A and B are shown apart, each in its own frame.
Chain A
Amino acid sequence: MQLRHGTDKRPWTFYVLAAFFTLFVSFLYGPMCAIYLLSFQGPNGGLTFPMHGVSLQWFAALFAQHRTGDFAGSFLRSILLAVLVLGITVALSVMAGLAFRRRFVGATLVFYLAIASLIMPGLLVGLGIGLMCQLVGLQPAWYTSALGAQLTWTLPFGLLIMFAVLSRFNRFYEEAARDLGASAWQTFAHVVLPILLPGIIAVALFGFTLSYDEFARTLLTVGPSNTLPLEIWAMTTNITSPALYALGTLTTVVSFVVIAAALTALAVLQHRRAQRRPHAAVTR
């Protein structure tokens, strides 16, 4: 097999698999590239190829409200909601993850509740929350019911990440801190939190992007004003112009910026701590 026999020669299977991998990556990115290209479609161009010139017209069209819907408003709402979800998810997941380090009554129940939340189809959750609001007489809104709906999707992810991170956390750090005179709060702030920071950044990343792109759960719970994915959805049901593609490009750019920020933060942290193989759960 291809194990490190000490030779540099790679077996033929490597090339086959590498080719397959390249195919897969192009499968992943290829169609999106079509969108990015088409968003620069010329003024007379249609929804598909060929390109009739290159222009930024469709990007401009997004900001003209009457043609394409409330882009700016829904964009703002999406960002705000995502930030809210990020904050709440980080806080609640970190706390709950810490709780699970000890045994407590109902731990298994909470765990299964989180798993159930993960696998429940989004539309069902949205339906349930919508009905619940109706019964209680509450008006659904993006900052209440949609927020809660999105949390049912992000919190389980956050919790699972915290599980993975905390399972590798050496409890002796806390004991050492205590030994050196740190109070419970000092131990948390100066030792636990900094060491968990990469995991927390991961949770934050999940929280933001899952919320920013969330669609099914938000559909029935958002109330009168849309988030961006819903705007996009409204547009897809009657695709009439490449403005949709322009929207797609823009929203993807935002996502990429957030991802890049998170990854940079992680890379900086790793570099500063000069950890050699943080993922080597195998060989230890």
Chain B
Amino acid sequence: MTQSGDIALVNVTKRFGTTVAVENLNLHLPHGSYCCLLGPSGCGKTTILRLIAGHETPTAGDVRIGGASVVGLPPVQRGTAMMFQNYALFPHLTVLDNVAFHLKMRGVGKTERRRRAYDMLTRVQLDPFVARMPAQLSGGQQQRVALARALITNPRVLLLDEPLSALDEFLRLQMRGELRRLQQELGITFIHVTHTQLEAIAVAEIVVVMDQGRIAQAGPDPEIYTLPRNAYVARFMGGHNVLNGTVTAATHGMATLASASGERYAVLLPPQTITVDDAVCCSIRRDRIAVTKAPPGQAARPTEPNAIGGTVHAIEYQGAYVKVTIQRPGHEDIVAHVADSDFFTQHLDIGNRVVARWAAEDVHLLETEHGCKTGRAVVDQPYGWACDMPAM
């Protein structure tokens, strides 16, 4: 197996002076996967990308590609190629010469390298523009030139630093599909850095959510979205509401939790034991919440578990669903995604008192920072672990 784009980061730490960008990080990505590094600014995702690329050297730990350590090797010898965030196209060269640059550094003759560059540009449908200068191209075209320039090096890993953030929305959606198709066609590993959650889950097979230099969760994208490991991921992905409570009862396959303000939640009992008085963190998907107007005269707090009362605080129409923010005393707001038909039938409005309900089966247990028990076996490391992925 010659060109393996298998990537492993082993106990990697990177410090810039006194700032720790990445700490004790472990990550394993199989060859040929499309992986997204996701997180807010400063979480370390770009640092990881640059460590893999060879533009940064780890302060501690090892970076391995295809099983062999690459620390100290320049990018070209690693078999990686990078697409820079602002493309970094050479302003003094034509599009053709930009793409042919790598071959020129290799010493390939002029006619030969121009021919190969032309072929590559045809692949990204930019052949009419070969004689243009980068300043004369649109953002989307520049991006494709940058892509062609990186791909001509025949990399086994392609690294994309926020490739879509400079594009307008429409182009962004279009390019997502193209990147995905390209990756499948080439069969190499793509590592794509982004801060947009929906983009990550749309485009990647594996999503690595990062928080302040550590991996919060790494896994297939449906898992990241529906089964977040902890409150950070649950909140960051934007699909869940986080609920905190103390266990009051744990019997008959169900655990009952009580929040500080007296709300009650019921969650299916996990295989591991949870005892009374344990502090537990859980989450409920926004689109699994049913919202109804509270009948007038009803007590402010409903009595059954998995139901809360509150006031509608904000309404945002999103097309297929309506995002309803519900304020409740003593807690953070609950956000529900209500189907638009449902919303308009009920005539919900700001200021309405409503009841939000959900089923116990839809409640999902999270880890807390204080090491709470969940149904998963976790390697005992704070926030980072060797991610054992099923073979893709």
Say yes or no for A141: interface residue by CB 8 A criterion: no
Chain A residues within 8 Å of B80, by CB: 179
CB-CB contacts of B21-56 with A at 8 A, as 1s and 0s? 000000000000000000000000000000001010
Are A179 and B92 interface neighbours, CB within 8 A?
no
Chain B residues within 8 Å of A274, by CB: 133, 135-136
Q: How far is the CB of A177 from chain B (nearest CB, A)?
A: 7
Say yes or no for A181: interface residue by CB 8 A criterion: yes
Are A179 and B91 interface neighbours, CB within 8 A?
no
> Across the two chains, which residue of chain A brings its CB closest to B80?
A179
Chain B residues within 8 Å of A181, by CB: 74-76, 102, 105-106, 153
Are B136 and A179 interface neighbours, CB within 8 A?
no
A176 vs B88: C-alpha distance in the bound complex, in angstroms? 7
Chain A residues within 8 Å of B188, by CB: none
Q: Which of A25-33, A84-92, A188-196, A220-228 contacts B (4 or more CB under 8 A)?
A: A188-196
Chain B residues within 8 Å of A172, by CB: 84, 86, 88
Are B135 and A182 interface neighbours, CB within 8 A?
no
CB-CB contacts of B52-79 with A at 8 A, as 1s and 0s? 0101000000000000000000111000
CB-CB contacts of B96-116 with A at 8 A, as 1s and 0s? 000001101110000000000
A170 vs B53: C-alpha distance in the bound complex, in angstroms? 19
Q: How far is the CB of A33 from chain B (nearest CB, A)?
A: 40
Are A190 and B104 interface neighbours, CB within 8 A?
yes
A197 vs B92: C-alpha distance in the bound complex, in angstroms? 10
Chain B residues within 8 Å of A191, by CB: 90
A277 vs B241: C-alpha distance in the bound complex, in angstroms? 48
Q: How far is the CB of A271 from chain B (nearest CB, A)?
A: 10
Are A179 and B81 interface neighbours, CB within 8 A?
yes
Say yes or no for B82: interface residue by CB 8 A criterion: yes
Are B86 and A273 interface neighbours, CB within 8 A?
no
Say yes or no for B14: interface residue by CB 8 A criterion: no
Q: How far is the CB of B57 from chain A (nearest CB, A)?
A: 13
Chain B residues within 8 Å of A186, by CB: 105
Task: Give chain A interface residues in 228-284, CB to chain B under 8 Å.
Answer: 272-276
Say yes or no for B373: interface residue by CB 8 A criterion: no
Q: How far is the CB of B97 from chain A (nearest CB, A)?
A: 10
A250 vs B370: C-alpha distance in the bound complex, in angstroms? 86
Contact of A178 among B55, B89, B91, B136 (CB under 8 A): B55
Are A275 and B135 interface neighbours, CB within 8 A?
yes
A182 vs B150: C-alpha distance in the bound complex, in angstroms? 13
A273 vs B104: C-alpha distance in the bound complex, in angstroms? 20
Are A176 and B153 interface neighbours, CB within 8 A?
no
A274 vs B135: C-alpha distance in the bound complex, in angstroms? 7
A275 vs B105: C-alpha distance in the bound complex, in angstroms? 26
Contact of A170 among B82, B86, B101 (CB under 8 A): B86
A180 vs B90: C-alpha distance in the bound complex, in angstroms? 12
Q: How far is the CB of A243 from chain B (nearest CB, A)?
A: 47
Given contacts A179-B81, A181-B153, contact A173 B88 (CB under 8 A): yes
Are A179 and B133 interface neighbours, CB within 8 A?
no
Most A CB atoms within 10 A — which of B74, B91, B135, B149?
A: B91
Are B135 and A175 interface neighbours, CB within 8 A?
no
Task: Give chain B interface residues in 277-291, CB to chain A under 8 Å.
Answer: none
> Across the two chains, which residue of chain A brings its CB closest to B102?
A180
CB-CB contacts of A157-178 with B at 8 A, as 1s and 0s? 0000000000000101101111
A274 vs B129: C-alpha distance in the bound complex, in angstroms? 14
Chain B residues within 8 Å of A175, by CB: 55, 82, 84, 88
Are A273 and B133 interface neighbours, CB within 8 A?
yes
A186 vs B101: C-alpha distance in the bound complex, in angstroms? 11
Are B90 and A195 interface neighbours, CB within 8 A?
yes
Are B105 and A179 interface neighbours, CB within 8 A?
no
Are B92 and A194 interface neighbours, CB within 8 A?
yes
Chain A residues within 8 Å of B104, by CB: 190
Contact of A273 among B81, B84, B135 (CB under 8 A): B135
A146 vs B155: C-alpha distance in the bound complex, in angstroms? 56
Task: Give chain A interface residues in 186-211, CB to chain B under 8 Å.
Answer: 186, 190-191, 194-195, 197
Are B105 and A170 interface neighbours, CB within 8 A?
no
Q: How far is the CB of B214 from chain A (nearest CB, A)?
A: 26
Q: How far is the CB of B128 from chain A (nearest CB, A)?
A: 16
Q: How far is the CB of A242 from chain B (nearest CB, A)?
A: 49
A172 vs B85: C-alpha distance in the bound complex, in angstroms? 9
A276 vs B102: C-alpha distance in the bound complex, in angstroms? 27
Are B90 and A182 interface neighbours, CB within 8 A?
no
Contact of B91 among A177, A183, A273 (CB under 8 A): A273
Enumerate 22 A-B pairs (CB-CB under 8 Å) in ascending A order: A170-B86, A172-B84, A173-B91, A176-B88, A176-B89, A177-B101, A177-B105, A178-B55, A179-B53, A179-B55, A179-B75, A179-B81, A180-B105, A181-B153, A182-B101, A191-B90, A194-B92, A195-B90, A195-B91, A273-B133, A273-B135, A276-B135
Tell me the A residues contacting B by CB distance below 8 Å: 170, 172-173, 175-183, 186, 190-191, 194-195, 197, 272-276
In the A-B complex, the 3 residue pairs with the smallest Cβ-Cβ separation, listed nearest first, are A181-B76, A172-B88, A180-B102
